[in-house]
Chain A
C-alpha cells in the first residue's frame, strides 16, 4: 500500500510536469503562434512557405495603437482573412505585392526583415516545424 502511494506521488507530478512542458514548448503560451500565408495559394514551391509571427505583429501594432485593419481590409462579409489588398492584385503581381507590402512596413518602422533577408521569412526549419505541427 505504502509503495503504491509513493508511486502515485511520483507519477502524478511527473505527468503534470510533462503536460505543462509540452503545452509551454508548443510555443502558443509564449505568443509565438505562426500563421501560414494561405492566400494566394502559390503553386510553384521555389522557396519554403512563410509561417509568420501573427501574435508578435498584433502585440507590436497594439502598442502603436493600431488594430486588425492595419493589415486586414474590412469587407461586406467582415474582416478579410487575406493580407491587405492582395485579392485585388493581378495574380502575376501578387507575390511582388506581398514582398513589397511586408518589407516596406519593416523599412518604415526600422524593424523586421527587409527584402534582402529572404530566409528570415522563408525558413526551411520553421516551415518544416510548422508543417509537422499541422
Chain B
C-alpha cells in the first residue's frame, strides 16, 4: 500500500500531469485563429518575441503591471502563495533527495528554515485569499466550485506537509496524506484552473505578441505595460 502510493501511483500522477499539461498547451496553440493571430505572430517575429518576454517578465514581478498595481492586497497574497508553491515543491530538501534518488536530477535545496517560512506564508495566503473570495461581492458572483477546488487542492499538500514536518505524532500517516494530496494535485491540475501553471505562460505570451504587433506595444518597450 505505502509502496504503491509512493511508487507507481506517483509515476502515474506525474505522467497525467505532464501529458495533460502538454495537451493544454497544444490545444491553446491549436485554438489560435490562423488569419487573425498566427500569421501576424509569425510574420512579425522581431516584435512578437520581445512582446512575449516583456509580458511574462512584467507579470512575474510584484507590482510590475497595472493589473497588479490596481489590486495591491490581492497581488501581495498571490505572490506570497506562489513563492512557496513554486519553490518548495522543487527545492525542499526532502523533495530534492527523492528527485536525486528516483529521477537522477540533482537540484540545490532550500535551507530548512526558509522552506518552513515559505510554506507557512503560502498557507496564510491561501486562507486570506479564501476569505477575500468570500467577502468581496464581485468575487462572490464570479466564484464557482472550480475556484474553491483549486484552493483546496493547493491547501492540502501544504497543510499535510507542515503537519508531518512538525513531527509530533502519526508522522507516517501525515506523510502518506501529504503524498496522496500531492498526487491528487498533479492528477487534477490539467483538468482544473490549476492548468494556469502552463497556460499563464501561454496567454501572457499571446497577449504580449498581440499587443506588441497590433496595438503599438512595440513602441512602448516591447508590450503594453499591462
Residues on A lying within 8 angstroms of B by beta carbon are: 46-47, 96, 99-100, 107, 110, 113-120, 123-125
Assess whether B97 is in contact with A115, with CB atoms less than 8 Å apart. Answer: yes
Residue among A96, A107, A110, A120 making CB contact with B171, cutoff 8 Å:
A120
- Other A-B contacts than A46-B112, A116-B175, A120-B172, 5 sampled, CB-CB below 8 A, are A115-B97, A119-B165, A119-B167, A119-B171, A123-B167
Assess whether A118 is in contact with B112, with CB atoms less than 8 Å apart. Answer: no
Residues on B lying within 8 angstroms of A by beta carbon are: 2-3, 6, 93-94, 97-98, 100-101, 109, 112, 164-165, 167, 171-172, 175, 179
Residue of A nearest to B178 (CB): A116
The interface centre, meaning the residue of A99, A100, A113, A118 with most chain B CB atoms within 10 A of its CB, is A118
Residue among B3, B164, B175 making CB contact with A107, cutoff 8 Å:
B3
Assess whether B171 is in contact with A47, with CB atoms less than 8 Å apart. Answer: no
- The docked-state distance in angstroms from the alpha carbon of A47 to that of B112 is 8
B94 contacts which chain A residues (CB < 8 A)?
116, 118
A96 contacts which chain B residues (CB < 8 A)?
97, 100-101
- The docked-state distance in angstroms from the alpha carbon of A47 to that of B98 is 15
Describe B's contact surface by its main secondary structure. Answer: helix
Assess whether B167 is in contact with A114, with CB atoms less than 8 Å apart. Answer: no
Residue of B nearest to A119 (CB): B167
Q: A46-B93, A114-B2, A114-B3 are in contact. Are A125 and B101 (CB under 8 A)?
A: no
Assess whether A99 is in contact with B3, with CB atoms less than 8 Å apart. Answer: no
A115 contacts which chain B residues (CB < 8 A)?
6, 97-98, 101
B69 to chain A, nearest CB (A): 39
In the complex, 10 of the A-B residue pairs with CB atoms within 8 angstroms, ordered by the A residue number, are A99-B97, A99-B101, A100-B101, A115-B6, A115-B97, A116-B98, A116-B179, A118-B97, A120-B171, A123-B167
Residue of B nearest to A108 (CB): B3
- The docked-state distance in angstroms from the alpha carbon of A113 to that of B165 is 15
B184 to chain A, nearest CB (A): 16
B112 contacts which chain A residues (CB < 8 A)?
46-47
B172 contacts which chain A residues (CB < 8 A)?
113, 117, 120
